[in-house]
Chains A and B, each alone.
Chain A
């Protein structure tokens, strides 16, 4: 499934909610469902520090595609992280570099991208692109 399709899928899932509580309850559910990181990958190196909540992000490269795993200590951030991973994981470096996460704004959670939210999400998105660039430089685009 392409990054575009995955984003559309998420937007559809959120389209059924018309009040904030239902929307955030679903976000929390997604956070709870994210299996997180293997203990071995829960390292200082993989931490992206927000001012308030932390995000751990780990990337593996296999057969031309990048696989992300991630976690957060705050459940709302974890819910957002889960969606970002769902969108960007299992994709080629080029596809990742070229895709913008427009779904976040579309589902009305763009305030979470504001740097003042200090949740580490903006830095995580940067780090995902950075991984894609690094793997591309190392292995080319398979």
Chain B
């Protein structure tokens, strides 16, 4: 089946909106993606027809929502090629998933003098939770270097993995550079030293097939809203052995087996990590988003988006004074750039006036920007519904805007 872009675009109502009386060109997909009608329909349908708190309810609506939530968990399991549905924990997003692991893991596995390894290209959400854990237990945060082209320095990575290192965390795909890290090889190296690995999949699951068993990731996390699902729902995948080993995180309803004032025993996986009423309708909608992606095919999406990225990269190189930040051999989803003598903020504000949504600034990777010695970049990021025509329009308007600013 070939990739039918017209059909894809038709599924996303917001793409047909205008801003400042101009057709919206949405190129801020690494920040969040738009939602297809099928996902929006699930949200309104469930609130209109089925809403009822899940688990333990004996009535019809509760059973229906419970079943739908567990079906969604199963969909996530199959999407990530995980071994069991109980290895899928619903969280608010990537950030919460990383915090969950950082806090529970460090409780029993991090002590004074230990080390945690991350990389220079991490998003703040894969830096700060580890920094906080390290501060709390007197451990050290070690940062793996990158090459100027934005690829990871694998030698620096190997050298960083000393016997003091208790866990490694890195992005599958960099949100700023677009670099695809060689995750499988990196996990293999860490495992050869008995170090578990958390992979931040926030920028990968929507662009490329992921098989957590093949990667042998111990933890893999992502956000629903970056893969066409609503905001407020995300996923922590953890190997069963690890999730069993980690202590519970937040306490409350749902995560318990029995409670007395003297002693509480905890529920089994995955509920042990899902205290309180979860965003079950968000989870069901995430299931619908995954259905949408799988119906088109993640491989199809991946090759279409790669074509867009290559097209945009080739085109932008013809504009004078542009420097692309992130030139790794294997890239996905984002095109970040700076322009000689022009502030990214000015470019973003003026492009906005033409209907183009891009992101400017440091994209929550401040240490990475400091390292490059730049105040920020302009970032165009792509989704399955973007087109070559939109990229042509971006380039035309970029040249116009730059002629105003230079």
A residues near B (Cβ < 8 Å) are: 20-21, 24-25, 28, 51-54, 73-77, 118-119
Contact = CB atoms under 8 A, between A and B. Distances in A.
Nearest to A77: B345
B283 to A, nearest CB: 29
Nearest to A53: B345
A29 to B, nearest CB: 10
Contact of B405 (A75, A77, A118, A119): A75
A20 B20 contact: yes
B353 A24 contact: yes
Contacts of A53: 343, 345, 375
A74 B361 contact: no
B248 interface: no
A52 B404 contact: no
A28 B345 contact: no
Interface in B328-345: 342-345
Given A52-B360, A73-B375, A76-B349, A21 B404 contact: yes
Interface string B373-405: 001100000000000000000000000000011
Given A51-B361, A74-B346, A77-B346, 15 more contacts: A20-B20, A21-B404, A24-B353, A24-B404, A25-B404, A28-B404, A52-B344, A52-B361, A52-B375, A53-B343, A73-B375, A74-B343, A74-B345, A76-B350, A77-B345
13 contacts: A20-B20, A24-B353, A24-B404, A28-B404, A28-B405, A52-B361, A53-B343, A74-B345, A74-B346, A75-B405, A76-B346, A76-B349, A77-B346
A24 B405 CA distance: 10
A52 B350 contact: no
A74 B345 CA distance: 7
A74 B346 CA distance: 6
Contacts of A118: 361
B260 to A, nearest CB: 49
Given A20-B353, A28-B405, A51-B361, A75 B343 contact: yes
Contacts of B344: 52
Interface of B: 20, 342-346, 349-350, 353, 360-361, 375-376, 404-405
A73 B360 CA distance: 14
Contacts of B361: 51-52, 118
A76 B347 CA distance: 9
B161 to A, nearest CB: 35
A72 to B, nearest CB: 8
Nearest to B343: A74
Nearest to B20: A20
Contacts of B346: 74-77
A36 to B, nearest CB: 14
Nearest to A73: B343
**Residue from the set A25, A28, A75, A77 with the largest chain B CB neighbour count within 10 Å:** A75
A119 B353 contact: no
Nearest to A74: B343
Contacts of A54: 375
B404 A119 contact: no
A66 B350 CA distance: 33
Q: Which 3 A-B pairs have the closest CB atoms?
A: A74-B343, A74-B345, A52-B345
Contacts of A74: 343, 345-346
A54 B343 CA distance: 11
A21 B376 CA distance: 24
Contacts of B404: 21, 24-25, 28
B350 A119 contact: no
A52 B376 contact: yes
B63 to A, nearest CB: 43
Contact of A76 (B20, B345, B375, B376): B345
A20 B404 CA distance: 12
A77 B344 CA distance: 12
B345 A24 contact: no
A24 B354 CA distance: 12
A76 B20 CA distance: 19
Nearest to A118: B361
Contacts of A25: 404
A76 B349 CA distance: 9
B263 to A, nearest CB: 48
Contacts of B405: 28, 75
A134 B361 CA distance: 33
Contacts of B353: 20-21, 24
A134 to B, nearest CB: 29
Nearest to A119: B345
A19 to B, nearest CB: 10
Contacts of A76: 345-346, 349-350
A25 B350 CA distance: 10
**Residue from the set B342, B344, B405 with the largest chain A CB neighbour count within 10 Å:** B405
B347 to A, nearest CB: 9
A42 to B, nearest CB: 15
A118 B363 CA distance: 13
A2 to B, nearest CB: 31
